[in-house]
Chain A
Amino acid sequence: MKDRISVLMDGELDDRSAAQVIDALADWSQAGSQAGSEAAGEAREAWRTYHLISDALGKSRMLSEGFSERVAAALAAEPTVLAPRRLGGAREPRRWVALAAGVAAVSLVGWLGFAPREPVVQVAKAPAPVVPKEAKPALVALPSGTNDYLLAHQAFSPRMSLVGMAPYVRTVSEPAREARR
């Protein structure tokens, strides 16, 4: 199971296997306090340890005490709806550098744990706000001044003439970052 958790964090599981592992983690977290759940404890420990490793590698924000328990609880509450959407379609296995894997996993966890309450804020705070669907290259945060690029790009989108100005909504949808600049 530990191996599968590791592979999950590396984003190398296909949708179905990923869903299984996440379901298993969720089930174990529910059964966690009950007797005879040694496997559950071990799995949770692995999950936590791997994230600590990836945090260290990724130099990302340290997770607070009890983070994994809270995430596990959130997973238990919302296990299946969220995960498959983030992971995208069937893909070939891939090998990310450790840093990217860590960042992606942390952002996935952040998303899973907090999305139902405040998706935009949480995504904005995460070290790497985005997990692209077909991500083979390293995943990075949106470049600073993304709005400027989008504003400059949007004017040339031929789709403009079909949908009027609507796509410009993308241009300005990172307000907090822009305002603070």
Chain B
Amino acid sequence: MRKRALGAALVLATSVAQAQSPETLGWLRKMHQATQRLSYVGTFVYQNADRTETSRITRYAAEDIEKLEVMNGVPREIVRTRDKIRCYLPDSRVVKVDRRVDRDFPGLLPEQIAALGRHYDISLGETQRIAGLDCQTVVLQPKDNLRYGYRLYADLKSGMLMRADTVDAAGKSVETLMFTQFTPGNVTPDMVRPRHEGKKWRIEDTGAVPAHLVGWGLAAELPGFHKVTELKRRLGESRPVGQMVFSDGLAAVSVFIEPLESRPDRAATGLASMGAINIYTREVANHMITVVGEAPAVSVQRIADAVEFRRPTQ
């Protein structure tokens, strides 16, 4: 029995080792470092089955500030600094402010990159040209149907991620983010300031704080998805909600819990989607549960169905 277990462990270890060579993991690390290290101005296109949008992104690495401006449709601008995310909506004269509780939340750390091999087969593909740059393809193939796959294209020289495709089980792209133009360097602090001052605009501060949501949890966790954080925040103008975040290291799914009485309307139970994002809504114990994640519908629904409230004893 013991022998067999050892054998199985060996087989598993070998297959994991094959799936993620040091070179492959090196590429993921290189991409991660490039997005942190580089200052740049770029134009990129977001595309899913329903829409295509062009945005400009500017990063000032010295102060870790990024600005994203959506170029078509209603003007919108998001500025992310070390501790805040501000979303400017000039048409409705609203600034949505979110504190970056995620700063304590590990991004994609080197040890996490190695751990990705548990749920994805990671391999190198061909070189491709994107936005005038030769790029290395890195393919993350999920080992089950509970997560999407990814095709990443990174600049051979800098390691900067130039294109990311999210693909479903059939291998079809559900969402693409791609730079069409990319200029590293020469970014000044002025270039990442918001275009709008936002004075006299309505400010919607989420007031997010880490919290323990007493009584709430999942009856069963989804394989590979572990709870990474739990907090309280406000949504929209003032609705209080709890949020639990589950992740497999690459994909994340949030569970929002809000008292029914604070909702302006009764949301319909069921599934909605937008590109790689699936949203499942249902009611549990007089609360509206909204599960949001860049994971296949089946995962989002399974997490939603597992949400339960257990009255604390005593």
User: Do A and B assemble together?
Assistant: yes
Residues of chain A at the chain B interface (Cβ within 8 Å): 85-86, 88-90, 100, 119-120, 123, 129-130, 132-146, 148-153, 155-176, 178-181
Q: Which residues of B contact A159 (CB under 8 A)?
A: 108, 164, 250-252, 294
Q: Assess whether B25 is interfacial by the CB under 8 Å rule.
A: no
- In the complex, A24 Cα to B70 Cα: how many Å? 41
Known: A120-B73, A134-B296, A170-B274. A141 touches B268 (CB 8 A): yes
Asked if B112 contacts A158 (CB within 8 A), the reply is: yes
CB distance from A118 to the nearest CB of B (A): 11
CB distance from B70 to the nearest CB of A (A): 6
Q: Mark B231-255, 1 if CB is under 8 A from A, else 0.
A: 0010110000101010101111010
CB distance from B308 to the nearest CB of A (A): 18
Asked if B51 contacts A156 (CB within 8 A), the reply is: no
**Which of A88, A152, A165 meets B78, CB within 8 Å?**
A165
Which of A120, A130, A158, A163 has most B Cβ within 10 Å?
A158
CB distance from A169 to the nearest CB of B (A): 4
Q: Which residues of B contact A146 (CB under 8 A)?
A: 272, 274, 279
Asked if A138 contacts B270 (CB within 8 A), the reply is: yes
Asked if B254 contacts A153 (CB within 8 A), the reply is: yes
- In the complex, A169 Cα to B78 Cα: how many Å? 9
Size of the chain B interface, CB-CB below 8 angstroms? 87
Q: Mark B271-305, 1 if CB is under 8 A from A, else 0.
A: 11111011111000000001011101110010000
Residues of chain B at the chain A interface (Cβ within 8 Å): 28, 31-32, 35-36, 44, 46, 49-51, 53, 55, 57, 59, 66, 68, 70, 73-74, 76, 78, 80, 85, 87, 89, 91-92, 96, 98, 100-102, 105-108, 112, 152, 161, 164, 168-170, 172, 174, 177, 206, 208, 228-229, 233, 235-236, 241, 243, 245, 247, 249-252, 254, 256, 264-265, 267-275, 277-281, 290, 292-294, 296-298, 301
- In the complex, A133 Cα to B276 Cα: how many Å? 10
**Which of A133, A172, A179 meets B297, CB within 8 Å?**
A133
CB distance from B247 to the nearest CB of A (A): 6
Which of A123, A137, A145, A146 has most B Cβ within 10 Å?
A137
Q: What are 27 contact pairs spanning A and B, CB under 8 A?
A: A88-B172, A100-B270, A134-B296, A137-B270, A137-B301, A139-B272, A140-B269, A150-B277, A155-B101, A156-B229, A156-B245, A158-B108, A158-B249, A158-B252, A159-B108, A159-B251, A161-B35, A162-B164, A163-B164, A164-B161, A165-B57, A165-B68, A167-B294, A170-B274, A170-B275, A173-B46, A175-B73
- In the complex, A180 Cα to B92 Cα: how many Å? 7
Q: Which residues of A contact B100 (CB under 8 A)?
A: 155
Asked if A132 contacts B273 (CB within 8 A), the reply is: yes
